[in-house]
Structure 1
Amino acid sequence: MHLSNSHNAADGSTILLVEDEALLREMLEETLIEAGYGVVSAASGEEAARLLIRTPLPRAVVTDINLGRARMDGWGLARLARENDPSCGILYVSGDSAHRWASNGVPRSILLPKPFAPAQLVQALSDLLIRTS
């Protein structure tokens, strides 16, 4: 796990990042660390599910919806995260499943359509954490 010493609005909150594309996952992780978040990352829904039961629990989950050939997609992962911690923030990122957010997304979640700029990710996560605190 990477933890930043930055003392900005992120305040070192731990974020679980779930993205099956390695290069994109690394870029998103770097963006979040630079913004002051602690990041734990996973390449699949199953790997992320194992990380959700660790302590400290993540303050939020940033997840792609389509996670390759994994059996657990971002929708299922978000529901599991909320079962573990009802206050966990959920930020979905997706290029092709945005139209299903209203019916499949958990309440009080945010959807950030791909492609997006790194600053948009940081702003969306900041907005989400303010809403869920």
Structure 2
Amino acid sequence: MPEKKPDVRAFILVVEDEALVRMMLVDVLDDAGFKVMEAAHADEALHILAAVPDVQVVVTDVEMPRGSINGFELARRVRHDRQDIGVVIASGRVAPAPGDLPEGTHFVGKPIRPERLLELIRALLPKG
């Protein structure tokens, strides 16, 4: 029986309250060869991050009506707890104010061009 090769695809968590936008992001990332999990709001994302240590990048919306925190606060918590995880924050309505983006995060306006999203994620992944 052949030895199973380890799965070396990067693990991305998509946090987006709009189901159609979330599905589009997941499809883009899946087509690019990433492993993808999804969450509908930041609280759900924090539960996933606590349970799944392999996540390497979080892609999050800013405004999510459900949940107790927005995407900026999620990014701060992720970067505080897990400096090894990069974060891409996206919004079509809210721009980051000074101090909103912790180190290890990138901001992108919506609608997100797939090429730009992939470029930002690859920049956050460890080299090699």
TM-score, structure 2 normalization: 0.85
Unaligned 5+ segments in structure 2 are: 1-6
Unaligned 5+ segments in structure 1 are: 1-6
Kindly provide the amino acid, as one letter, of the partner of residue 52 in structure 2: T
Q: Deviations over 1:23-54 (max 9, x none)?
A: 00000000001111111100011111100101
Match of 2:62 in 1: 65
Tell me the matched-pair count: 122
Larger helix fraction of residues: 1
2:101 to 98, 105, 127: 105
Equivalent residues of 1:53, 1:84 under 8 A apart? no
Q: Which protein shows a greater Rg?
A: 2
Inter-partner Cα distance in structure 1 for 2:67 and 2:45 = 11
| 4+ runs deviating over 3 angstroms | none
TM-score, structure 1 normalization: 0.82
Deviation of 1:57 after TM superposition, in Å, equals: 3.2
- Taking only the aligned residue pairs, the percentage that are identical comes to 34
